[in-house]
Amino acid sequence: MMVTAITPVDKRKSKVFLEEGFAFVLYRGELEQFGIREGEELEEETYLRI
């Protein structure tokens, strides 16, 4: 799954969009922890953990 966009919700949280559309909201620390970056592939295993 391709991460198409990451947009801030507030100072601590961001919305993550995949090819299918909006997927979930994560804290910025969680984005780093899971290695989620815009334009990169998101492993299905990681998606299922979230």
pLDDT digits (tens, 9 = 90+) for 15-40: 999 999 999 999 999 999 999 999 99
Q: Please report which confidence band the pLDDT of residue 9 belongs to, taking 50, 70 and 90 as the band edges.
A: very high
The arithmetic mean of pLDDT across residues 4-23, rounded, is 97
pLDDT of residue 17: 98
- Gap between the Cα atoms of 6 and 17, Å rounded: 6
Question: 26: burial class by Cβ within 10 Å (0-12, 13-18, 19+)?
Answer: buried
Q: Number of structural domains, the chain?
A: 1
pLDDT of residue 46: 94
pLDDT of residue 14: 98
With contact defined as beta carbons under 8 Å apart, do 28 and 13 qualify?
A: yes
Q: Please report which confidence band the pLDDT of residue 44 belongs to, taking 50, 70 and 90 as the band edges.
A: very high
For residue 42, the enclosing domain spans: 3-49
